[in-house]
Amino acid sequence: MKKKDRPDAGLQLWQLVVTVVLLLIFGTLAVILLAIADTDPEVWQRRVYIFTAIQAIVFTAVGWLFGREVNQSAVKAADMHASEARDDANEARASIRQLAQRAGEAERTAAVEEARGRAAYTAVASLLDSDDSTSSGPSDVSMPRTQPDNVRAAVAILDALYSDQQP
């Protein structure tokens, strides 16, 4: 994000200008104090007292300037990690939705196949149990009863497949 795009860019620029001005004032004051160092001790003590107050303000400003830069890099890194985690979570949610959809489709397919298998079992079993030699169970399925061994084999296969699920 560019400095112009940030809402606090003007404030940060102002703070930077104030910090630089304070550093310049501090440096100028230090040079002046060194130039007039041979004055009366009482006057010197008062000047040093004022100098230390200005020094505290200037060092605070400089600490803010450098601390802000360090914090900005930490914030950027944290934002990047949070963005990556958010993306990973979104991908995981999408994957879970897709897997849930597949599971639902598989359950529906299994239910349809189970119903078809039960219908086939019922139809073949009714062929075997039927006393009629030319027709079989359901009205839409008719088969001559010329191959009862094949029917028995089909019933045996279906019985093995659906023995625990007989209707």
Write down the domain spans for the chain: 9-165
pLDDT tens, position by position, 116-131? 888 887 877 777 676 4
| Average pLDDT of span 134-144 | 51
pLDDT tens, position by position, 1-43? 444 455 566 667 777 787 788 888 888 988 888 888 788 888 8
Q: Identify the burial level of 104 via C-beta atoms within 10 angstroms of its C-beta, where 0-12 means exposed, 13-18 middle and 19 or more buried.
A: exposed
Cβ atoms of 75 and 46 closer than 8 Å: no
Q: How far is CA 162 from CA 12, 107, 116, 124, in A?
A: 77, 18, 11, 12
Q: Name the pTM for this structure.
A: 0.41
